[in-house]
Structures are given as C-alpha cells and as structure tokens.
Structure 1
C-alpha cells in the first residue's frame, strides 16, 4: 500500500489556481491509501461542522472505474450524480467516511459532480458539488510522475506540494499545455504529468 498526502478541498473558489500570492490557510491534509482495490481515506481531519458531506478524493481504477471518496454524517445514504444523472448510490460508514465506484461507462468529458446526502425521509439534507473532467480509460492508467487532480486542487497548490514553491506552477502548466486551456482553471479528474524537481533550481534558491 502507498500513502499519499492530499490538500483538502477549499470550495468552488479554489477551482481557480492563483498566479500570484500564496493561497489562504487550509485544514490539515488528507491521507489517502492507494490499494489494488482502489483509493480510500486512511486519515483525515474531522469533517467541518458546517459541512454535512464532503467530496475529498477522485481517482481511477486500473479498469477505468471512477472512484470517489469523502466524509459525511455517519450511516446516511448518499446519491452521486454527474450532470444530474445518478451514477452511484452508497452509505456512509459508522466512522463518517464513504467511498464508491461510479459507472465505468461514463463517457470522457466535462461534468458537474454532485453528492447528495439524504435524510430518513429520502429528501436531500445537504449536498456538495464540484466540476469534474472524466478522462478516457486509456488516459486513466497512471504512469510514473502523473497525478489525478483532486477537488480543491490548484496548479499553485500542486507546485507547492511538489516543489516547495507555488510560484513554480508554470512548470506543471508547460508540461500539460495541451490539457490546460486556462492555467487559472483546472478540473478534478484531470490527469497531469508533474516533472521531477529540478536540482539546479533548488540549488539556486
């Protein structure tokens, strides 16, 4: 198994990557566990009191299944939608975590991913939404040096995590120029190549 630290989602405003200045403070990272069976949340901060449901992780299985995870009120039922079409239904575990595999047949393209938390009467009590880009099954097979963009990620945050400096987001942008039309706008579910840190650049700092 492999553990990965991921920055937690920061809301819709965080879908846009800042080009200058540091991003605002955020809660502690989420620890994701990468297993052959998929990605699960191994360790995370308690769910924010004002959020009944969160969408924390997006990944792909080797077979191309879309895998999503998050936190919510324990023992509640969830329905997951892509552009208003339900693609999965699951229950929140007793520890407040949830994960599911969505339809493998979801065609590549841009979607609005939505997670609805249902009450005892079946009515929607809370929801969370995020833009999402479904990659093709072929592209969804990660190679060395690639990442899946997560809810709340920005180019700045990815560069800060990888290189220690958010201002080096342009390195990631240039490596993925064919996939990024606007460096201020990236989507969860996209797969990016993240070049190794340049030792010469580190030595000059």
Structure 2
C-alpha cells in the first residue's frame, strides 16, 4: 500500500513539474516572439527634452529617438517638420514655418532604419501669443507622471483675440486643496477660470476692479496652465490669459505672486530679519540686499526698516546686478 501511495505522490510531483516547465517554455517563446517581432519598449519611443523659439521666432525641438531614425513633429494629422537623429539618438528639429498664435498638441514619430515607426508616449501642449519669444509656453503631458514645462520659464500669455489693458492675474495660492486666483480688470466684469476641460469657477470684479475666485480642487504635483477669460456686461469676451502654475509637492502650500506677467519668488519677513540676512539666505550673499530693496521700493521707504509679516519680492539676479553688487562690496572693503 505504501508503495502505491509513494508512486502516486511521485506521479503528482512529476505532473506539476512538467506543467511548470511547459509554462516556462511557452513564456520564453512568447518573449522571444515579441523580441523578434520588434515589439518596441519605452526606450525606443521618441521623447521631447525642450521646446523653444530661436531668435527668429522659429520653433526648435530637442529630444531623443532611436539612433539614425527619421523624426517627425506631428500636430493632429499634420506633419510640421522632420529631421534625423544622430548615432546616439539625439536630434534637433527646427521648423521652417513660424507657428501662429494659438494652442497646439504635438507628438513625435520616429521611423528607424528597418522601417518600424514609434510614437512618443508624451504629448506636448504649446501655447503661443502674438508676443514672442516671451509669449510662449510648452509643457509635456506624461501619462506616467506629472506634467512639466519644457520651455524657458513661462510667464502669463495673452491668448485672446483682444486683451483688455487692465486685465491681469496677480496671485494664485493653493493650500489644503483650496485654489484661489486673484487679479484685476475693469469694474463689474465677469471672470471665468478653467483648467483643461474643467471649469474652476467665476467671479465679478468689484468697484475697484479686483477679483478673487476660489475652488476646492485636488491638483497633482507638477506644472499646470490655468485659463482666465474676461467678459464685459454684454457677454463679449474681451480678454483671455494662460497662467503657468507649479506645484512642487502635492500637499505643500503654494503662494505664487505675479508681477508684469511673470511668476516671482517672495519671502515673508520674520522677526530679526534684515535685507542683508534675507539676501544671505536667498542668494548666498548679503551683497544682493540692494537688489531686494529695489524690487520692493514701492512698499519699502527705508532699506533699514522692514516689518515682520511683510511679503518681499526676491528678484532674479542678472549679470549686471551681480557685477554691481560685487563692485559695491569691493568699494566697501577698500574704505
């Protein structure tokens, strides 16, 4: 009896091992078949790295593709340009025709030397106004992650057919899933805000032309572009703006100030702060305190007097300001 039980156990073990071997063999054949059939992996898909306008306002796209592949820029059913990737898969594609004012949705298509074609996983949305090169923003929509800008630091872009002179967005905040958009226009005008196909809300400007609309909304980390439309009493659209907004961490509060159409960094004055100490923390050197004072001269009458709770703009430091600050530091040492 024990002999028959042992033989039965052996047969079951042999059967299970045989099934496992068959599964492994079939899986290997399937993997080999995919490989032999040229099933593309993610690395073979072309990808965007940057999108910019050159000095003559022609679009320039830099990216990666299979080595020596033909790369095409596609907008819907239209091919707007093509180039060839080098031996390492890098390419630069410069369009021969300027992009007109409007919004575009681009993908890349690469065809390798065997004739196989691959389309980019990402799509890139490009918004262009009549004011170039500053009036352009390009951001990449990646289905596997957060969107991100691939153009130079974008500012507010006028995208309407006509824009009211006093129409502007001055601040966007996002805290505890509450999005608040503030700005100004003429009095008694309607404001409507949207994000993609989602309407965020509306508001009317007060007697001073100020508006502020809020909405509870869950936003992922990454780059976003809000559209703000302005309507007069007759319901006519008299202005449309595209506003770039970045969330570095999903649950981290964001307080973004805009000045002259550009997003600017700010700092809240704490007890014991001075312009020199703020410059030291922000730029690594106290010599940029004068640049901070100049950027905030509208609210600061004295560089030696700042108040706890004040919000100060931290300006971008260009080469001329660096040179000026360095000369001032040298003169101070010589004295």
TM-score, with structure 1 as normaliser? 0.51
Whole-angstrom CA distance in 2 between matches of 1:114 and 1:85 = 11
Structure 1: any 5+ residue segments left out of the alignment?
A: 1-48, 163-167
Q: Say what the alpha-carbon RMSD is for the aligned residues.
A: 4.4
More helix by share: 2
Matches within 5 A, 1:1-205: 50-52=42-44, 53-120=46-113, 122-141=115-134, 148-152=137-141, 170=173, 174=181, 181-182=194-195, 185-186=224-225, 192=244, 193-198=262-267, 200=269
The alpha-carbon deviation at position 175 of structure 1 amounts to 8.2
Whole-angstrom CA distance in 2 between matches of 1:75 and 1:176 = 49
Q: Contact conserved, 2:67 with 2:90, CA < 8 A, in 1?
A: yes
User: Counterpart of 1:9?
Assistant: none
Query: Taking structure 1 as reference, are residues 117 and 174 closer, same or farther at Cα in structure 2, changes over 3 Å only?
Result: same
Whole-angstrom CA distance in 1 between matches of 2:70 and 2:79 = 13
Q: Contact conserved, 2:124 with 2:141, CA < 8 A, in 1?
A: no
Query: Taking structure 1 as reference, are residues 181 and 98 closer, same or farther at Cα in structure 2, changes over 3 Å only?
Result: same
Whole-angstrom CA distance in 1 between matches of 2:59 and 2:52 = 6
Q: Contact conserved, 1:175 with 1:194, CA < 8 A, in 2?
A: no
Whole-angstrom CA distance in 1 between matches of 2:141 and 2:182 = 20
Structure 2: any 5+ residue segments left out of the alignment?
A: 1-40, 154-170, 175-179, 185-190, 201-218, 227-241, 245-261, 271-277, 282-308, 310-335
The alpha-carbon deviation at position 140 of structure 1 amounts to 2.4
Whole-angstrom CA distance in 1 between matches of 2:57 and 2:243 = 13
SS in 1 for 2:139: coil
The alpha-carbon deviation at position 57 of structure 1 amounts to 1.0
Whole-angstrom CA distance in 2 between matches of 1:83 and 1:196 = 37
TM-score, with structure 2 as normaliser? 0.34
Query: Taking structure 1 as reference, are residues 125 and 151 closer, same or farther at Cα in structure 2, changes over 3 Å only?
Result: closer
The answer to which structure, 1 or 2, has the higher relative contact order (CA under 8 A, 6+ apart) is 1
The alpha-carbon deviation at position 113 of structure 1 amounts to 0.1
The alpha-carbon deviation at position 55 of structure 1 amounts to 1.2
Query: Taking structure 1 as reference, are residues 116 and 157 closer, same or farther at Cα in structure 2, changes over 3 Å only?
Result: closer
Q: Contact conserved, 2:65 with 2:91, CA < 8 A, in 1?
A: yes
SS in 2 for 1:51: helix
Query: Taking structure 1 as reference, are residues 157 and 127 closer, same or farther at Cα in structure 2, changes over 3 Å only?
Result: closer
The alpha-carbon deviation at position 197 of structure 1 amounts to 3.2
**Alpha-carbon deviations, 1:33-81, whole Å to 9, x = none?**
xxxxxxxxxxxxxxxx623211121111232211111112111111111
User: Counterpart of 2:19?
Assistant: none
Whole-angstrom CA distance in 2 between matches of 1:61 and 1:85 = 22
Whole-angstrom CA distance in 1 between matches of 2:147 and 2:269 = 20
Structure with max Cα Rg = 2
Runs of 4+ in 1 over 6 A off after TM superposition: 153-158, 175-178, 201-204
